[in-house]
Chains A and B, each alone.
Chain A
Amino acid sequence: MNLVMRAGEITGRPVVTLDTGDDVAEVKDVVFSHDNGFLVGFTLNRRGWLSGPLKQVLPWSHVHALGPDAVIVTSQDRFTAPEAEAFAGGDAEDVVGGRVITDGGREVGTVTDLVLSVDATEARVVGYEIGGPTVEQGPGSDQRYIPLPETFAVSSAALIVPASVTNFIRDDLSGFGSAVDDFRAQLEESP
Chain B
Amino acid sequence: MTLRFEQSRRTPVYSRDSADEIGHVVRFVITPGVHRVGAVHVAGRRRRAQLVDWSSIVGFGPDAVVVDSADSLRAAESDHEQRVAAGHLDLPGRRVLTDAGYEVGELADVDFDESSGVLELIRTTRTTVGGDGLLVIGPYAVVVRHDAVRPGDRPTEV
Contacts and interface: CB of A to CB of B under 8 A. Distances in A.
Interface of A: 1-3, 14, 16-23, 64-72, 118-120
Nearest to B137: A21
B148 interface: no
Contact of A21 (B100, B136, B155, B157): B136
Contact of B136 (A20, A64, A67, A68): A20
A70 B101 contact: yes
Given A67-B100, A70-B103, A71-B101, A16 B141 contact: yes
A3 B156 CA distance: 9
Contact of B142 (A21, A65, A68, A119): A21
A72 B138 contact: no
B30 to A, nearest CB: 12
Contacts of B156: 1
Given A1-B157, A3-B158, A120-B158, A14 B99 contact: no
Contact of A69 (B102, B136, B137): B102
Contact of B140 (A16, A19, A120): A16
Contacts of B101: 16, 65-72
Contacts of B102: 67-70
B99 A22 contact: no
Contacts of A19: 136
Given A1-B158, A16-B143, A18-B143, A70 B97 contact: yes
Nearest to B101: A67
Q: Is the interface of A mostly helix, strand, loop or mixed?
A: loop
Contacts of A65: 99-101
B135 interface: yes
B100 A18 contact: no
Interface in B96-149: 97-103, 135-143
A3 B101 CA distance: 12
Contacts of A23: 140-141
Given A22-B138, A67-B97, A67-B158, 15 more contacts: A1-B157, A2-B158, A18-B135, A19-B136, A21-B135, A21-B141, A65-B100, A66-B101, A67-B102, A69-B97, A69-B102, A69-B103, A70-B97, A71-B101, A72-B100
Given A1-B158, A119-B158, A72 B99 contact: yes
Contacts of A14: 140
A16 B99 CA distance: 9
B136 A18 contact: yes
B142 to A, nearest CB: 7
